[in-house]
Chain A
């Protein structure tokens, strides 16, 4: 099992550009999550999906959209990137109990 995978690992964008962060899990989990990690702030929930076909906003959803493409995949889209979105983005999945995290995407917006 690969667990939770994310692509890309690193990305540099210019202000106003768009991009999609990809996440996939092979553990057959229903729930999937997107977090951002900023220094001194821990992880903050952007969006989550309790099951295929459903998505809900977390603490910091502004500037982001998500798609739960199927049970395995949950993508995060930045339509018009801003410097405030410079962060490390983690995807996670969960069935019962703990959440399993992907390796992260380090995004810099210039």
Chain B
């Protein structure tokens, strides 16, 4: 069964700092990869996704992620964070060739951006 690890549980940054959140998964087959964001009191929203093609994926709100297959990683980045980026971020994986279409989520990273 696939699993997803997010090593940073809580990150505190100042506005304009650069962000990188780690995500590693354990599955050797074909995967689809996602980053979701959950703002306080709200439901999950998709930031970006990777299915195939260019491993550098650009999402909404200036976020991007890079799929490195050899490292089983899909790290999320943003060059300059804003206070409004304060939220919880979840990495998720769908192991496509298992036939199961549900996502496996990481435990989440809480990002706090200080003004």
B51 & A104 in contact (Cβ 8 Å cutoff): no
Query: Of all chain B residues, which has the CB nearest A56?
Result: B100
A50 & B34 in contact (Cβ 8 Å cutoff): no
Min CB–CB distance A29 → chain B (angstroms): 11
- Interface residues on chain A, size class: 20 to 34
Residue with the highest number of chain B CB atoms closer than 10 Å, among A43, A48, A99, A104? A43
Report the stretch among B13-21, B42-50, B70-78, B79-87 that lies at the interface.
B42-50
**Interface of B, helix, strand, loop or mixed by DSSP:** loop
B107 & A45 in contact (Cβ 8 Å cutoff): no
Residues of A within 8 A of B92 (CB): 43
**How long is the Cα–Cα vector from A44 to B106 in the complex, in angstroms?**
9
**How long is the Cα–Cα vector from A24 to B9 in the complex, in angstroms?**
32
B9 & A90 in contact (Cβ 8 Å cutoff): no
Q: Does B90 contact A (CB under 8 A)?
A: yes
B90 & A43 in contact (Cβ 8 Å cutoff): yes
- Interface residues on chain B, size class: 20 to 34
> Which of A44, A48, A102, A104 is close to B105, meaning CB atoms less than 8 Å apart?
A44
B102 & A58 in contact (Cβ 8 Å cutoff): yes
Residues of B within 8 A of A97 (CB): 49, 51
Contact A42:B108 (CB < 8 A) given known A33-B102, A48-B101:
yes
Query: Of all chain B residues, which has the CB nearest A106?
Result: B41
> Which of B43, B45, B49 is close to A104, meaning CB atoms less than 8 Å apart?
B43
> Which of B43, B49, B106, B107 is close to A98, meaning CB atoms less than 8 Å apart?
B49
A42 & B107 in contact (Cβ 8 Å cutoff): yes
> 14 A-B Cβ contacts within 8 A?
A35-B105, A40-B9, A40-B108, A41-B107, A42-B108, A43-B44, A44-B105, A45-B102, A48-B101, A94-B101, A97-B49, A98-B46, A102-B43, A103-B42
Mark A residues whose CB is within 8 Å of B.
Answer: 31, 33, 35, 40-45, 48, 50, 58, 90, 94, 97-99, 101-104
